Every structure is written in structure tokens, then in C-alpha cells.
């Protein structure tokens, strides 16, 4: 989405809001369902069939799972302990079969539509050494809007119903709303049924506080996107699209700018969507928590795209780690390794599965696999060397919790993340290697001062505006770390605080926002998944 | 409880497990450490911990972990 798309989107949201308020409280959720359906159908009529298929599959799977659980609960009564155990094993097996089939259907749609080209390419590459030399045309399909997000929501719902976390939804339309709530269709966050459904159906009406909170969040998101992200994108795009022409110094600046662009683009969009959802009394789950204040890469991923990280944790990492094959692996490791390695190897193996999945979720390309492996390797090194660092700092009597030590760890994490972002942005792993080579050659350092820097789409005025924007984000972030929620305080504050801040944000977006004839349109990065 | 504290110290050295009450919320125990801990306590106490048990409330303090173990041992 670019600035104008956001305006259309917000007009659509406001129109929905008016109709929503007209409807009686109990029926308001139907307005949200209809608006989500309209939003989706406007986007692509043919592709809507995949969302509908996912909703049907998810709904009936949930019903079957809950009915199996209820049958077990009834039949187990008054059975002796041994018989109960047998009955439980029987029903668990049945439920597992149902879950597996449903996950395969849901995941299958995503795999076929998103990854067919990648898998055929990989298969052809794998077969080449065996004499298979036919030209393979990569197959690619149009992707239904938000498929990578709603598929994960569906799977989460199915697995939670299987685990007995909650009973299945009885109303198909309500389940369809859970999967198609329009503010979270394009970039998430990936919602959980037990968190979203009560809010979606509560039918909360207008309140001045809710409306102001929504407005502040939307304006804050627009500020991030139009004032910071889009300006940073111009130089980043110029350099990344033709990196051999530029020095390592300029590439390093472009890497930093791209990191700024991606963060303010993605978190800005999430703020706009969260603000929109708040109009309807829905609080979407938190997706960012000052990620650039992280002291380790693991912490960064607990603060960045939180809904994806927690999804992988709950539905991949934990079940894989606690599965029987991993239990067996742990036993083998315990017998054949030292205590330290025996605790590391099984965890690292499960982590590898998670990071391969996370990498591939971002896109069907070998570079995304490498992207996942990059973070896996950093975390693995962190796990393996942690005791060493503790011993070393104890010996040298260094205070690991001192301000300087923590500041250095934050700096190290930012550098590692910036390289991760560069890997995410480049066209291929080879390009990534070339870019890193150029950066570490430390040549043409004077490109920063000889005017080259400001001639690549982001001029010196843009740099000043980006700098001030980052400073604003930094101050708000520092205060939030200290449990002082500035945006929340503005929303609930007195009228002489609330309105000047709102006006300042509106003026900042109108005057400093990068839109209009002089600026190119910049699409959201995370909407492409 | 003492055995549990020993296991905790082994999995994540240098933490005041007796008094800390925000082990998960403050990021001391991340998901990787929790899995290593779960593997160790499952073996020690012969209990089966499922993904549903892996919520912050069950791991925020040594007391909460101990209560989880007792609950699952029943």
C-alpha cells in the first residue's frame, strides 16, 4: 500500500464504521464480516475462493475435533483407569488424523500457490548431476491476499482446538470473520481465535477515548510510513538495484536506510491497521516492542514481528521439541555426549526447523532459506558460547550488566540485524556476498562528505527529516521501555495535550510526508507475502 | 524444590531463581532455555509436559515450575 491506498483504505474503514454504528450491537460483527468480504472481493474475485476453502476446511475440522473430544469425555465416564487410557489413545489417534489432514489442506494451498516454482526449480537443480538437463520453466501463481497470514491463523485455530484449549466455533460466519477481519488482511498481525473472537463479536460502539486512540495510532503509523520509511526507501532502492556502481561506504548507508525503511514501513502499517481495528473495539496483538533496543538477536526476534515469532514458537518449536523423535534424539545425545552438548543439540535441531520455516515463510527463494539459516547460526553461536562469555567476564571482573556492556550488546545486535536486512533485500545470495565484500573493503569513505550520498534519491533535507523522525521514535521508544506509553497518554490526556499532538502529527504527515508528484509510490514490503 | 533449583542453575547459570518472579516476562528464560529445562525436569520427575503447559505463568518463578511439576505428577 502507498499513501493514496492508505487514504482509500481509511475511507473504506470509516464508511464501514458508520454502517457498523448504525447496526444494533449484537449484529455489528456481520458488518465486519461483510466489509472483509467486500475488501477481499474487490482485491480479487477468483482468488477469494481459496480463503473460502480455507474457512470451510477450518470450520468443519474444528467441529469434528470438538465432537471427538466430547465423545471421549462421555465414553470415559465410569471406565477403569486402564480402559480410559486405551480410549484416550484411540481418540487422540483419531484427532491427530483429522488435524494432519486439515493442516495438509490449508498448508497445501499455500505451498502450491506460493512455492511450486521454487520446488520445481530446486528439483531440477537436484536432478541435474544425475543427467536431467531439461529446461524447467518456473511455475508461478497469483497469490491470494494475505494467504501467508490467514493460513497460519487457520492452523493455529485447528491445533488449539485439537489441544482442547477451547471449543470449536459453532457459527461458520463468525469463523470466516476471524480469518477475514479486514484490518489484518494485508500484513497481519497473525491473530489468535481466543484473543480476537470475543472482541470481534462484542460490538463495541463509539467512545471518544477509543476514537482518539485509534486516530493517534493511525496518524503515528502514517508518520512512520510517509515521513520516514518512504524517504529512506529512495536511496536504498537506487543502491540495491544497481549495487556494483556504488562504493562500500554508500552501500553501508543504504543497508542502514533499508533497515530504517523496513522497520518504519512494517510497524507503521501495523499501527495503521491496529488503529483501524480499535475503531471497532478490537485490540490486535502487539507486533513490535522496540526491537532495536534488543541486547541479543534472540531478543530482537521476540520484539520484532512478535505474532510470527510466537506462532512458530507455539505451533512448531514447542511441539517439535516435545515430540517423540526429539525425545529419542535427546536420549541418544544424553548417552553419547557431555551434559552441555546433550542439552544444546536437540534444542538446536528444533530451532533449525523453526528457522527454515521462518525463512521460507518470507518467500519462495533460496535467499530466504539462507536468511533463516543466518539467524539460526547467530543464535546457535550465542547458545554455544554463552558459558564461555560468562566465564571470561567473571575472570576479567567485567560487569555484564553495566550500561556500557549493555550498550555494546545493543550495538552488536543492530549491526547483525542490519546485515540480516541486507540479505533480505538483495536479489540473490551471491549479491549479498558481493555487498558484504564491498562494505568491508572500506573504500571511498569520503563518499559521505563529497556530495555523492545526497545524489541517490534521498537528499540532505530527506536525511534531516529521517533523522528527526528516528529521534522522535527513539524518545517515544525509550519512554515506552520505562513503562511510559506516550501514545496512550496522548489519547487519554487532557484536551490541551491531545489536540496539539494530533494536529502536530497531521501537519507532520501533510508537510513532511513523501507523497505527491515529486515522490515515487512505495508499496509495503510485508504485504507481498 | 532443591533439586529443581539445581536443574535451573545448570540450565541457566547465574540467576537468582529463589527470588525471581518474572523469569519469562523479563526474558531470562527464553523458549530455547525453557525447552532445555522441560527436557531436564521431564526426565528427573518422570512427567509429560505438553505444549499447552508451556505458558509464561507456569515458568515465571521456581515456585510456579514446582507447582506445575506437582500438578503433572498427580
Residue B27: which of A299, A314, A321 has the nearest Cβ? A299
Q: Mutating which of A302, A310, A317, A319 best tests the B interface, going by the most B Cβ atoms within 10 A?
A: A317
Comparing CB atoms, the residue among A298, A299, A343 nearest residue B36 is: A343
Residue A295: closest C-alpha in chain B: B27
What pLDDT shows up at residue B60? Answer: 94
Q: Helices (H) and strands (E) in chain A — how many of each?
A: 21, 0
Which chain A residues are Cβ-neighbours of B54 within 8 angstroms?
314, 318
Closest CA to A439 of A278, A200, A253, A202: A253
Q: Which long-range contacts (CB under 8 A, 24 or more apart) does A103-110 make?
A: A103/A155, A103/A158, A103/A159, A105/A53, A105/A57, A106/A54, A106/A57, A106/A58, A106/A151, A106/A154, A106/A155, A106/A158, A107/A151, A107/A155, A109/A50, A109/A53, A109/A54, A109/A147, A109/A151, A110/A147, A110/A148, A110/A151
**Is the Cβ pair B52, A165 closer than 8 Å?**
yes
Q: CB-CB: which of B27, B31, B49 is closest to A317?
A: B31
A478 CA to centre of own chain: 22
The predicted pLDDT at position A515 comes to 66
Task: Spell out which residues of chain A touch residue B30, defining contact as CB-CB under 8 Å.
Answer: 298-299, 302
Q: Hey, are the CB atoms on A318 and B54 less than 8 Å from each other?
A: yes
Residues of A in Cβ contact (< 8 Å) with B51: 163, 314, 318-319, 322
Residues of B in Cβ contact (< 8 Å) with A339: 10
Chain B interface includes A302 (CB < 8 A)? yes
CA distances from A251 to A172, A271, A446, A522 (A): 51, 29, 13, 20
- At A319, is the secondary structure helix, strand, or coil? helix
Q: Given this model, what pLDDT does residue A520 score?
A: 60
- Chain A residues with CB inside 8 Å of B53's CB? none
d(CA B28, CA B38): 15
Looking at the complex, report in whole angstroms how far the Cα of residue B27 sits from the nearest Cα belonging to chain A: 8
Domain ranges of chain A: 27-205, 212-514
Chain A residue nearest residue B25, CA to CA: A302
Contacts of B27 in chain A (CB under 8 A): 299, 302
What are the chain B neighbours of A321 within 8 Å (beta carbons)? 35, 38-39
Q: Which residue of B has its CA nearest to A350?
A: B32
Distance from the A75 Cα atom to the nearest Cα atom in chain B, whole angstroms: 22
B16 chain-A contacts, CB cut-off 8 A: none
Nearest chain B CA: its distance from A165 CA (Å): 8
Answer yes or no: is pLDDT of B34 > 80. yes
Which chain B residues are Cβ-neighbours of A302 within 8 angstroms?
A: 27, 30
In chain A, the residue whose alpha carbon lies closest to the alpha carbon of B52 is A163
Which pLDDT belongs to residue A529? Answer: 57
Q: What pLDDT is recorded for position A129?
A: 77
A41 CB neighbour count, 10 Å cutoff = 13
Helix axes A248-279, A403-425, angle to 10 degrees: 90
The torsion angles phi and psi of A202, rounded to 5 degrees, stand at: -70, -25
Give pLDDT, residue A72: 92
Which helix (H) or strand (E) segment holds residue A9: the answer is helix A3-22
Residues of B in contact with A343 (CB under 8 A): 11, 36, 39-40
Search chain B and give the residue with CA nearest A310.
Answer: B31
Searching chain B, which residue's CA lies closest to the CA of residue A312? B31
Tell me which chain B residues have a C-beta less than 8 angstroms from the C-beta of A317. Answer: 31, 35
- The distance of B6 to chain A (nearest Cα, Å) reads 14
Contact A322 B40 (CB under 8 A): no
What is the number of CB-based contacts under 8 A between chain A and chain B? 48
pLDDT tens string A270-283: 999 999 999 999 99
% residues pLDDT > 70 (chain B): 99
Chain B CB within 8 Å of residue A93 CB: no
Instruction: Among B39, B49, B51, select the one facing A346 at the smallest CB separation.
Output: B39
pLDDT for A527 equals 59
* Candidates B30, B36, B51; nearest CB to A319: B51
Fold of B2-10+19-73: 1.10.1200
Enumerate residue ranges in chain A where pLDDT < 50. Answer: none
Q: Which of A313, A323, A384 to mutate to test the interface with B (most CBs of B within 10 A)?
A: A313
Closest C-alpha to B9, from A378, A318, A390, A326: A390
Amino acid at each position: 500500500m502507498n499513501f493514496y491506498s492508505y487514504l482509500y483504505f481509511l475511507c473504506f474503514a470509516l464508511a464501514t464504521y458508520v454502517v457498523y454504528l448504525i447496526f444494533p450491537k449484537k449484529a455489528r460483527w456481520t458488518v465486519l464480516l461483510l466489509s472483509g468480504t467486500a475488501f477481499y472481493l474487490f482485491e480479487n474475485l477468483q482468488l477469494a475462493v481459496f480463503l473460502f476453502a480455507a474457512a470451510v476446511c477450518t470450520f468443519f475440522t474444528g467441529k469434528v475435533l470438538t465432537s471427538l473430544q466430547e465423545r471421549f469425555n462421555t465414553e470415559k465416564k465410569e471406565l477403569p483407569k486402564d480402559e480410559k487410557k486405551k480410549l484416550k489413545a484411540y481418540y487422540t489417534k483419531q484427532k491427530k488424523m483429522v488435524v494432519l489432514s486439515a493442516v495438509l489442506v490449508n498448508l497445501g494451498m499455500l505451498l502450491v500457490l506460493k512455492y511450486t516454482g521454487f520446488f520445481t526449480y530446486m528439483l531440477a537443480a537436484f536432478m541435474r548431476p544425475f543427467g536431467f538437463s531439461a529446461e524447467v520453466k518456473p511455475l508461478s501463481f497469483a497469490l491470494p491476499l494475505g494467504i501467508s497470514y490467514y493460513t497460519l491463523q487457520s492452523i493455529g485455530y485447528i491445533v488449539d482446538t485439537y489441544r482442547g484449549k477451547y471449543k470449536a466455533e459453532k457459527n461458520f460466519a463468525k469463523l470466516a470473520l476471524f480469518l477475514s477481519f479486514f484490518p489484518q488482511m494485508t500484513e497481519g498481525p497473525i491473530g489468535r481465535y481466543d484473543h480476537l473472537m470475543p472482541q470481534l463479536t462484542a460490538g463495541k460502539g463509539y467512545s471518544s477515548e477509543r476514537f482518539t486512540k485509534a486516530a493517534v495510532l493511525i496518524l503515528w503509523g502514517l508518520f512512520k510510513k510517509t515521513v520516514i520509511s518512504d524517504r529512506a526507501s529512495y536511496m536504498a532502492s537506487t543502491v540495491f538495484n544497481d549495487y556494483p556502481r556504488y562504493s562500500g561506504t554508500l552501500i553501508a548507508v543504504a543497508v542502514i536506510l533499508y533497515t530504517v525503511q523496513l522497520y518504519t514501513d512494517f510497524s507503521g502499517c501495523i499501527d495503521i491497521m491496529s488503529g483501524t481495528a480499535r475503531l471497532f473495539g478490537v485490540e490486535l496483538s502487539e507486533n513490535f516492542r522496540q526491537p532495536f533496543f534488543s541486547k541479543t538477536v534472540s531478543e530482537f526476534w521476540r520484539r520484532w514481528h512478535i505474532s510470527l515469532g510466537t506462532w512458530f514458537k507455539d505451533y512448531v518449536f514447542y511441539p517439535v521439541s516435545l515430540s517423540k523423535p526429539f525425545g529419542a534424539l535427546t536420549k541418544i545425545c544424553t548417552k553419547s555426549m557431555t551434559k552441555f552438548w546433550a542439552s544444546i543439540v536437540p534444542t538446536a535441531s528444533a530451532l533449525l526447523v523453526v528457522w527454515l520455516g521462518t525463512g521460507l515463510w518470507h518467500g519462495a527463494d533460496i535467499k530466504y532459506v539462507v536468511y533463516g539459516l543466518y539467524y539460526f547460526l547467530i543464535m546457535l553461536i550465542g547458545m554455544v558460547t554463552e558459558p564461555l562469555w560468562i566465564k571470561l567476564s567473571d575472570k576479567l571482573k567485567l560487569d555484564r550488566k553495566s550500561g556500557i556492556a549493555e550498550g555494546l550488546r545493543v550495538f552488536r545486535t543492530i549491526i547483525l540485524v542490519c546485515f540480516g536486512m541486507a540479505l533480505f533485500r538483495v536479489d540473490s545470495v551471491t549479491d549479498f556476498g558481493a555487498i558484504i565484500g564491498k562494505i568491508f573493503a572500506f573504500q571511498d569513505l569520503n563518499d559521505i562528505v563529497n556530495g555523492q550520498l545526497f545524489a541517490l534519491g534521498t537528499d540532505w533535507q530527506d536525511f534531516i527529516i529521517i533523522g528527526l523522525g528516528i529521534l522522535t521514535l527513539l524518545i517515544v521508544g525509550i519512554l515506552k521501555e520505562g513503562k511510559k506509553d506516550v501514545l496512550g497518554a496522548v489519547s487519554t490526556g487532557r484536551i490541551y495535550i491531545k489536540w496539539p499532538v494530533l494536529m502536530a502529527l497531521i501537519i507532520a504527515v501533510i508537510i513532511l510526508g513523501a507523497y505527491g508528484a515529486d515522490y515515487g509510490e512505495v508499496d509495503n514490503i510485508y504485504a507481498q507475502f | 524444590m532443591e533439586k529443581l533449583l539445581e536443574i535451573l542453575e545448570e540450565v541457566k547459570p547465574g540467576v537468582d531463581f529463589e527470588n525471581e518472579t518474572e523469569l519469562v516476562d523479563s526474558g531470562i528464560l527464553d523458549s530455547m532455555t525453557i525447552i532445555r529445562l522441560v527436557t531436564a525436569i521431564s526426565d528427573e520427575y518422570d512427567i509429560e509436559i505438553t505444549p499447552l503447559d508451556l505458558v509464561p505463568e507456569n515458568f515465571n518463578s521456581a515456585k510456579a515450575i514446582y507447582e506445575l511439576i506437582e500438578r503433572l505428577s498427580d
